[in-house]
A and B are shown apart, each in its own frame.
Chain A
Amino acid sequence: MSNENTSCLKGVGLTKIFGSGKKSVLAVDHVDFDFKNGEVISIVGESGSGKTTLSKMLLGLTSVTEGKIYFQGKERDISTRAKQKEYWKGIQAIFQDPFSSYNIFTKVDGVLLDCLKMRGKGNLPREEKYQLMKEACRFVNLEFDELTNKYPFELSGGQMQRLMIARVFLLKPQILLADEPTSMIDACSRSTILDMLMKLRDETNMTIIFITHDIGLAYYISDSVYIMEHGIFVEHGTSDDMLMHPKVPYTKRLISDVPKIYEAWDLDSITV
C-alpha cells in the first residue's frame, strides 16, 4: 500500500527531559531520524540509554519536551482524543513484558475484541467477528477456541506474546513498535516470535521498529540499525555496515558483547 523510500516516521530534534531544575534528567537528547516505509529498523542500546523513552514518545504515551515528529510526511497531531485514536490506528506496539501487558482482570478475548472495535468492526455480526479473531489466532499458531474465557495468567509467556502479535495482525497499523518483545521469554519461543514478526512484515508491508539491547539480534532481523547511547544516536546505517565496519567505540563494544554463536553466522562456517 505504500512504496519504499517514502518517509514513514520522521523525528527532528526530539528531546525528552524528566523533571525540572537541578534534578532534571535528559533522557533523549535531540535525536533525528527518518524511518522509511516497509523497513525493519533496530534501535540498539544499553539499559538506560533512552530507547524506551523514545518509543513512548513515538507512541504518544509520553509528552515530547522538544522537537517534532512527522507521521507519513505530516506533522503528528494528538491534541484531542479522536486524533490520538486516529494516530494509534497507524502505530501500534508490543511491549517487553507479556505478563504485565495484559489486564489480569479481563479475559484475553477482550483484547482481540478491542482491536475489532478500533478498526470499526465492532458492529459486525458475532459469527464474522469470531472468524476474524480465529484467523488472527491461526496466524500466530494459536487456537482461538482454547483461548476464549481464559484469563491472562492461564497462558504461557510465549502464548501471551503471540497473542500480542495476533492483536497487531488484526489492527494492521503502518508501524509496529516492538520494545524488546523477546527479552522476557525463553529462547525457543523467541525465534518463533521473531519469525512471526517477519511474517507479519512480509504479509502487510509494515514498518517495524525493533528496540533491543542485542546487536546480534538487530543484525539478524533488520534493514538498518540505529545505535543509541545516553539519549543520542551515535551511529546509524544498514545492518551489514554497522556490524562489519563500526565506527564508534560504543558500537564496537556492543558487538564484542554479543555471545559467540552470533559471530558464527557471520563467519559463514558453522561448526557447533
Chain B
Amino acid sequence: MGMIKKVFHSPKFRLGFIIFAALLLFVFLYPLFDSGDPLEMIAVQSYLKPGTYVSQYDVAGSDGITLDVVASDKKLASHLPEADRNKMKTYLVDFVGLDANQVDTNNIPKLIEQWMDNYNPNNKAGLLVSAQRDYRNINKEVLAALDAGDIIIAINDPETGELIQNKTIHDQQYVQVSSVANRQVFPLGGDNFGRNVLRELVEATKTSLMIGLIAGIVATAIGLTLGLIAGYVGGTTDNIITFITNLFTVIPSFVILILISYSVGQEARGVLLVACIIGFTAWPWTCRSVRSQVISLRNRDHVNLMKLSGHGLLHILTTGILPYIASYVVMALILQIAQGILSEAQLSMLGLGAATSKTATLGLMMNWATLFSAVVNGSWWAYFPVVIVIALMSFSMNLMNTGLDQVFNPQLRD
C-alpha cells in the first residue's frame, strides 16, 4: 500500500497515469454514448469531412421557421470569392472613379451596394473584351447573390405524371438542426470505406491495447523465465540461453518480425497471432536484463540461507529472487506493452499486420489511409488522430516507466 502511494508521488508517473487512464476511460465509455457498429460502412463517398450531416430530404420536408434576417454575409461570400471582390474594387476605383479608401472588399453588402449603383454594362470605354466578360460574369454572380427567389418543392403526381407544387421555401426560412430526424455526426469525418473515423478509432485503440498487452505479457513471460533460469542456474544452461538471446539481439527483431509475419501467410494472420508473434520477437532484452539482475542476487546471503534451509530451485526463484526484481519486471512489462503497440502499427503499415477488414487496429487504420491516399488528398482526419493516439499511448507508458524507475531507483530521483 505504501509502495503504491510512493509511486503516485512521482509527478512523471502521475502524468503518465492520467493520460493513460483518460485514454482508457474514453475508449470504454464512448461506445455507451455512441453505440453503432464501428465498422459499418455508412458513406458511399470516401473521406467525408468532419462534421454533422443532416438529411436534405428531411430539411426540405420540415416546416421552416422564419427569421427576419437578410441573406447573410456567408451566402454572399460563397457567391463572391476574394478574387472577384478585388476585381469589383478595381472596376469601382479605376473606371468609376471612387476613392480607394471608400471601397472595402471585406464589407460585402456595402460593396454590392456600390456595385449596383455604379456598374453599367454599356460603359465599355477602355476595357478589354475579356475584362468586359469578367465584369459581366461578376454582375451575374452579384445578382444571384441578391436573388431571394423562393425555391418550389413539387411532388410528382403518380397518376398523371404532373408536378404539383407542394410548398415553397424562401430565403429567410430556417430549420433547427436537432429537429431534423435523420442526422449523422462524423466528429472525425469518414475514412476510405465510408466508416465513422471516431467510432473506428475507439475500436482500434481497444484492439491495439489488447495486442500490446498480449505481446507484452508473452514477451515478459518468455524473457523472465529464461532470464531467471539463465541467471540462477548458470553454467552450460546460461551459455545456451545467452547464445540464443544474443542471436535474437544481433538480428534486429523487426526483421524477424517481418519474416515470421510474412511466412505465416496472409490468411492465417489474425489479431491474436500477430500479438503472439510480436511478443515472441520482443523478449530478448527482458531476458538479458533479468539475467543480469538475477546474477547479482543469486550469491546474496538470503538466497544462500534459503538453500541451506533445504529449499529447491523453484521455491528459491519464486520467493527469494522474483520479489526482489518484481518492480523491475513491472517496468519492463509496461515498456513491452508500449513497444508491442508500436510494433503492431509498424507491421500493419507495411501490410504485414492482421489481415482483416473486420477488425480495426491503429496500424491498419494508418495502412488504409496510406493505401487510399488520404495523405495526398489532404484528408488529415483519417490518419492524424490515429498518430496522436499512438503517440499518447507510448508517451504515457514511457512516462509511467520513468516515474517507476525514479521510485525504485533512488539514484535517479530529481
Chain B residues packing against A (C-beta within 8 Å): 300-302, 304-312, 319-320, 323-324
Contacts and interface: CB of A to CB of B under 8 A. Distances in A.
A251 B332 CA distance: 52
A117 interface: yes
A106 B324 CA distance: 11
**Closest A-B pairs by Cβ, 5 of them:** A105-B323, A114-B309, A95-B301, A101-B301, A118-B310
A59 interface: yes
A93 B310 contact: no
A93 B309 contact: no
Interface string A89-125: 0001101110011111110000100110110000000
Contacts, number: 49
A252 interface: no
A61 interface: yes
Taking residues whose C-beta sits less than 8 angstroms from the other chain, chain A's interface range is 20 to 34
Given A95-B301, A97-B301, A103 B310 contact: no
A96 B312 CA distance: 23
Nearest to A96: B301
A85 B310 contact: yes
Contacts of B302: 100-104
A105 B305 CA distance: 14
A104 B361 CA distance: 44
Nearest to A89: B310
A61 B307 CA distance: 8
B319 A114 contact: no
B326 to A, nearest CB: 9
Nearest to B315: A114
B234 to A, nearest CB: 10
B304 A95 contact: yes
B304 A114 contact: no
Given A95-B304, A105-B323, A114 B311 contact: yes
B319 A106 contact: yes
Nearest to A86: B310
A36 B323 CA distance: 41
Contact of B305 (A85, A101, A104, A117): A101
B310 A100 contact: no
Given A114-B309, A115-B309, A118-B310, A105 B304 contact: no
Interface in A223-266: none
B3 to A, nearest CB: 12
B319 A118 contact: no
